Amino acid sequence: MKKIYVVLMLLAVLFISSQVRAQQTFDSGTGRAQNVFVELYGQGLLFSANYDTRFSNKRDGIGGRVGIGYFAVDGNNLTTIPIGLNYLLGKGRNFFEVGLGATYLSAKLSGDDFFKSDNSDVTGSEIIGTMSFSYRLQPINSGFALRAGFSPIFGNGFFIPYFPNFSLGYTFSGKHK
């Protein structure tokens, strides 16, 4: 468990430090694209709220995302924290996203859960690997954004190649005067 927190803290520090070092000049006057969005399925597994940004002052290229998700039903709950790197290929409003990341999972399953054969309570956490292959519609300056595609997930002994993702959000450009 201690290793999980160390890895998450290291990823968060790297993410924040890359933001601090980002240049203050902008490419073509449009600035660095930043997104806030909610995602169904995808790297957050069920539902997550996320922030995504480019690491340079361009609309395409390498960037990162971080989010948090929570889902609870009948005494069972699941918390997810997706963190990842992605690369955008494209121009204008249309991009293809390729990404790689990790999602921290923390779950509590009650004794009468359908997925367990005994009546004991289970609490645990795990980190799984995630990928992203998605179409992204992102406005030039700011406005409505959409993502859809596949987010393969993998872990200890499993691989789900066609796990879908769909997100709606808002893009803003970070222009400065």
Length of the chain: 177
pLDDT of residue 97: 97
**What SS3 string covers 17-40?**
HHHHCCCCCCCCCCCCCEEEEEEE
Per-residue pLDDT, 160 = 96
State the pTM of this model: 0.76
pLDDT for 110: 75
pLDDT tens column, 134-171: 999 999 888 999 999 999 999 999 999 999 999 999 99
pLDDT score at 42: 95
Contact 117, 131 (CB under 8 A): no
pLDDT of 175: 58
113-125 average pLDDT score:
62
Q: Which fold has domain 2-21+37-172?
A: Porin (2.40.160)
Q: How confident is the model over 78-94, as a mean pLDDT?
A: 95
Q: Which of 70, 78, 67 has its CA nearest to residue 11?
A: 67
The residue among 41, 135, 146, 148 whose CA lies nearest residue 96 is: 135
pLDDT at 119: 56
What pLDDT score was predicted for residue 174? 64
pLDDT tens digits, residue range 2-33? 555 545 555 554 555 444 443 333 344 457 88
Please state the domain extents for the chain.
2-21+37-172
